[in-house]
């Protein structure tokens, strides 16, 4: 007998919109698998930077994407290295390359269509999940927040490790990243037509989660 088709929840949106926290909590709530697709682009960018290659170089990104080792991504020390601002910026450069995106596309679809540990569904967060990776997703949420609010959140996360980091620098980086992510020709960041918009600017984490859950359960 054909197993049931997994239920996919797509959570897209710009950096520091709160989409990662919401996606992780939705996955916990429904006992679904969770995939932070930004980490895949970050891992590719990290590999490119480690080799002193240019993140805007298409061949360097493609080589790193083909060598991507998913098993490595869960380790706490790897996660910390991937979550820096420098790697985030480089990730948005490698993510603008069509061949690199293509190499990563199938990895994401495989996890969505056959979630690990036999889970009944998967929650994927990213920029193009509802539009390109899983356009057939059962639920789609596009999470936004005003850029000043997102910058303040990101600064809170990063300034402990980097006390010299200014809010102004984080804001400028997010604005540049938003622009690159929405202006690229392949799979630009945008809300799918059938996505629910969720603005978390004036919501606590609990309020935002309640709103996301209501969208999925409605």
Residue 47 interacting with ligand C5P (CB under 6 A)? no
- State which of positions 126-165 bind ligand C5P (CB under 6 A): 126-128
Q: Which helix (H) or strand (E) holds 199?
A: strand 196-199
CB of 2 to ligand C5P, least distance (A): 28
Nearer to ligand C5P, 19 or 196 (CB): 19
When asked if residue 91 is in the footprint of ligand C5P (CB under 6 A), the reply is: yes
Q: Among 7, 22, 95, 216, which residue sits at the site for ligand C5P (rule: CB under 6 A)?
A: 95
In the bound state with ligand C5P, the residue whose beta carbon lies nearer, of 177 and 196, is: 177
- For 143-170, b where at least 16 C-beta lie within 10 A, e where not — what string? bbbebebbbebbbeebeeeeeebeeeeb
Q: What's the N-to-C CA distance of the chain in angstroms?
A: 30
Shortest reach from residue 83's CB to ligand C5P, in Å? 8
Does residue 38 bind ligand C5P (CB under 6 A)?
Answer: yes
The DSSP result for 29-90, as a single string, is HHT-EEEEHHHHHHHHHHHHHHTT--TT-HHHHHHHHHT--GGGGGSHHHHHHHTSHHHHHH
Q: How many residues bind ligand C5P (CB under 6 A)?
A: 14
CB nearer to ligand C5P: give 157 or 214.
157
Asked whether the beta carbons of 153 and 13 are under 8 A apart, the reply is no
127 or 196: whose CB is closer to ligand C5P? Answer: 127
Smallest distance from ligand C5P to CB 203, Å: 19
Task: Write down the least CB distance from residue 51 to ligand C5P, Å.
Answer: 19
Q: Which of 7, 18, 21, 42 binds ligand C5P (CB under 6 A)?
A: 42
Shorter beta-carbon distance to ligand C5P: residue 80 or 214: 80
Report yes or no: 22 and 209 within 8 Å, Cβ to Cβ: yes
Q: Binding segment for ligand C5P among 37-45, 62-70, 141-149, 202-210 (CB under 6 A)? A: 37-45
By the 8 A CB rule, do 104 and 65 touch?
yes
Contact status: 34 vs ligand C5P (CB under 6 A): no
Q: Does 88 bind ligand C5P (CB under 6 A)?
A: yes
Instruction: Tell me if 11 sits within 8 A of 19, measured CB to CB.
Output: yes
192 CB-near residues (< 8 Å, 6+ apart): 10, 12, 130, 131, 135, 140, 142
């Amino acid at each position: 007998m054909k197993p049931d088709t997994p239920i996919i929840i797509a959570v897209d949106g710009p950096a520091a919109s709160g989409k990662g926290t919401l996606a992780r909590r939705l996955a916990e709530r429904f006992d679904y698998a969770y995939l932070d697709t930004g980490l895949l682009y970050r891992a590719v960018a990290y590999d490119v930077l480690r080799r002193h290659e240019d993140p805007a170089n298409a061949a360097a990104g493609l080589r790193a994407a083909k060598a991507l080792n998913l098993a490595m991504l869960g380790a706490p020390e790897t996660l910390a290295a991937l979550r820096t601002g420098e790697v985030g910026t480089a990730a948005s450069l490698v993510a603008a390359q069509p061949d690199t995106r293509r190499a990563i596309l199938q990895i994401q679809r495989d996890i969505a269509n056959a979630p690990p540990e036999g889970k009944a569904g998967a929650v994927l967060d990213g920029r193009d999940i509802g539009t390109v990776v899983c356009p057939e997703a059962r639920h789609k949420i596009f999470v936004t927040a005003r850029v000043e609010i997102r910058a303040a959140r990101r600064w809170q996360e990063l300034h402990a490790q980097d006390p010299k980091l200014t809010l102004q620098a984080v804001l400028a980086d997010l604005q540049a990243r938003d622009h690159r992510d929405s202006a690229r020709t392949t799979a630009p960041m945008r809300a799918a037509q059938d996505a629910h918009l969720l603005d978390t600017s004036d919501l606590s984490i609990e309020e935002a989660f309640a709103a996301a859950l209501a969208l999925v359960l409605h």
